[in-house]
Amino acid sequence: MMDKTTLTFGEIALPADPFAAFGIWLRDAEASEPNDPNAMSLATVDSDGLPDVRMVLLKGFDRRGFVFYTNFESRKGEEIRATRKAALNFHWKSLHRQIRIRGDVEIVSDEEADAYYASRARESRIGAWASLQSRPLENRETLERRVEDLGSQYGEGPIPRPPVWSGFRVVPREIEFWHDGAFRLHDRYRLTRTGADDWTASRLYP
Ligand X SMILES: Cc1cc2nc3c(=O)[nH]c(=O)nc-3n(C[C@H](O)[C@H](O)[C@H](O)COP(=O)(O)O)c2cc1C
Active site residues: 184
Residue 95 φ/ψ, nearest 5 degrees: -90, -10
Task: Mark residues 124-163: x for contact with ligand X by CB under 6 A, - for none.
Answer: ---------xx-----------------------------
Confirm if 85 and 76 have CB atoms less than 8 A apart.
no
- Which is nearer to ligand X, 85 or 193 (by Cβ)? 85
120 binds ligand X (CB under 6 A): no
The binder of ligand X chosen from 19, 68, 117, 129 (CB under 6 A): 68
Altogether, the residues listed in the chain come to a count of: 206
70 binds ligand X (CB under 6 A): yes
Instruction: Point out which span in 20-28, 50-58, 173-181, 195-203 binds ligand X (CB under 6 A).
Output: 50-58
Residues binding ligand X (CB under 6 A): 36, 39, 52, 54-57, 68-70, 74-76, 133-134
